[in-house]
Amino acid sequence: MAASKSYGAIAKIFHWLIFLLLAAQYAVGSIMPHIGRGTLNEGWVNWHLSIGAAILFVILLRLIWRLSFPVTLSTGMSRWESILAYATHLILYALVLIMTLLGWAAANARGWDVKLFGIVTLPAIAPNGSSWGHEAGDIHNILVYVLLGFIVLHVAGALYHYYVLRDRVLQRMLPADGAS
Ligand code: HEM
Ligand code: HEM
């Protein structure tokens, strides 16, 4: 199938939905109590698992959509700009997916069930008390900052296009934009 030149409504909804869910997840992740031996899966911790499961669900749908309906990068970018933008997008997808899987394993290692929308209990991917599940939690806690770094890079790129290059790349992800 030929790649489209612009993002459709569904791709934009997915983009901004993930943005909102990640913002909520970072907020909850930073106000929830530090997770240790005696921590219970309740309150903000429980919210963190619920939002995390929703992020996993939406990012999988988004990836399926993206692969089914390819979109080309904006034309008119230099070679290094295109490579940087493309690599950043790829890393963002990968990191969000990896973060959710590591968080899921970390939750299971603490003996917590992960539920999707509070209804569907996801199967445990790490046994209760497993050491690799706890290591997954440690990596999860580090990737929190790595993902944040790439988000900052990505947003800086979007603002650079808008304020410095003054092209229409930022508008490509906004509701009103058509092809550009
Ligand atoms: C991309 C999505 C996610 C983001 C941005 C995120 C963010 C965070 C943050 C900021 C913390 C606190 C780190 C600290 O205290 O140093 C954390 C810890 C944690 N998160 Fe997530 N999280 C995500 C997805 C998930 C998912 C899907 C789950 C489980 C279903 C989960 C489970 C946990 C657990 C269990 C911890 C404690 C880790 C440990 O020390 O064992 N997270 N996360
Ligand atoms: C204020 C925040 C944000 C702005 C202004 C923004 C802006 C944009 C723009 C303009 C594009 C289209 C680039 C192009 O023309 O090729 C885009 C694509 C993308 N954004 Fe964001 N973004 C934001 C937040 C995020 C966040 C938090 C994520 C985290 C996952 C993210 C992930 C992506 C990905 C993966 C793509 C590539 C879409 C694709 O081609 O499949 N964005 N963003």
Q: What is the pLDDT of residues 97-151, one digit of tens each?
A: 999 999 999 999 999 999 999 899 999 999 999 999 999 999 999 999 999 999 9
Nearest CA to ligand 2 atom 17: 173
Best of 114, 141, 145, 146 for a ligand 1 pocket test (most atoms within 8 Å of beta carbon): 141
pTM as predicted:
0.93
pLDDT at 180: 43
Query: For ligand 1, what atom is nearest to the CA of residue 99?
Result: 1
pLDDT at 29 over 80: yes
pLDDT at 1: 65
DSSP per-residue string spanning the chain: -PPBSS--HHHHHHHHHHHHHHHHHHHHHHHSPPP-TT--S-HHHHHHHHHHHHHHHHHHHHHHHHHHS-BPPPTT--HHHHHHHHHHHHHHHHHHHHHHHHHHHHHHHTT---EETTTEEPPPSS-TT-HHHHHHHHHHHHHHHHHHHHHHHHHHHHHIIIIII--STGGGGSTT----
pLDDT at 177: 67
Domains of the chain, with CATH numbers?
9-173 (1.20.950.20)
Query: For ligand 1, what atom is nearest to the CA of residue 106?
Result: 35
Average pLDDT, the chain: 94
Mean pLDDT of 156-174: 94
pLDDT at 178 over 60: no
Residue 48 Cα, ligand 1 centroid: separation in angstroms? 7
